[in-house]
Amino acid sequence: MTQFDQESIYQQAKEWVLEAGAIIRSSIDQPREVDTKENANDLVTEMDKQTEEYFAKAIRSTYQEHRILSEEGFGDDVQDLDGVVWIIDPIDGTMNFVHQKQTFAISLAVFCDGVGEIGFVYDVMADCLYHAKKGQGAYKNEKKLDPLPESKTLEESLLMLNTIWCTPNKKVADEPIRDLVQTVRGTRSYGSAALEFCYLAEGIVDSYISFKLQPWDIAAGVVIFKEVGGVTSQTTGERLTFLHQDPIVSAHPNLINAISDYIELKYLI
């Protein structure tokens, strides 16, 4: 079993997250170099890369034996979760970062032997830090978040999803998703998966579905949401891999069953 000093790694990671966030905040109005990746809407900026490089250098100089799984290419070629692995999205919500200059986050998780030990999601412009250590509850800044209350029914609940999943697409049958959207009280879409997990943890939204999230989009949020009793799995019911893209559903444990009637048991293709 790998030795893991949860408290000291948490303190170090927190310092780096706040520092990286302060750098982004102080340059928010500077002109951006915006490139595209897989398609014209898949944006990346110099700040995404610079921030990830900042973490990679800091982690490598402090913890030589740890590995990094991250979005922008400064990490390692991680094929398993043995030992200590930092899972990092330097800016989650790059489209918001570029277009809106708000509602984006640094997402950083630390896993040990496949178990999520530490999660940070930092809403940079709001200077709001969501954080959790496994087994010790989840926090929004200094405030401990309450455990999830009794489950609502689907009809009383708010669902987060990207409306793209209601349109014909290659990944999932869109008709049952539309049925689900018509069943819930309302839908929300915030443009940052990491923050969407934190809104679940705060109890201000009730469920989240997305069909192609990467480990760095979800790792920290899953750690945080789990601490208040939330559940996240693949839409097939399988465990998350935290190694490649997974279709995910995240909610109160009772609500998850109701949702999977729509997206898995009946119709998932």
252 in helix, strand or coil? Answer: coil
Give strand ranges (E) for the chain: 34-36, 43-45, 67-70, 84-92, 105-112, 115-123, 128-133, 138-140, 143-144, 158-160, 186-188, 207-213, 231-234, 246-251
| 46 annotated to a ligand binding site | no
Instruction: Scan residues 178-217 and list those touching Ca ion (CB under 5 A).
Output: 217
Residue nearest to ligand IPD (CB): 193
Residue 191 contacts which entry, ligand IPD, Ca ion, none (Cβ below 5-8 A, type-dependent): ligand IPD
Among 250, 260, 118, CA closest to 196: 250
Residue 245 CB neighbours (<10 A): 13
Distance CA 184, CA 189 (A): 14
In angstroms, give the least distance from the CB of 90 to ligand IPD. 8
Give me the 79-118 binding string for Ca ion, x by CB under 5 A, dash otherwise.
----------x-xx--------------------------
Nearer to ligand IPD among residue 151 and residue 192 (C-beta): 192
Nearer to ligand IPD among residue 10 and residue 242 (C-beta): 242
Residues within the annotated binding site for Mg(2+)? 71, 89, 91-92, 217
Contacting residues toward Ca ion, per CB under 5 A = 71, 89, 91-92, 217
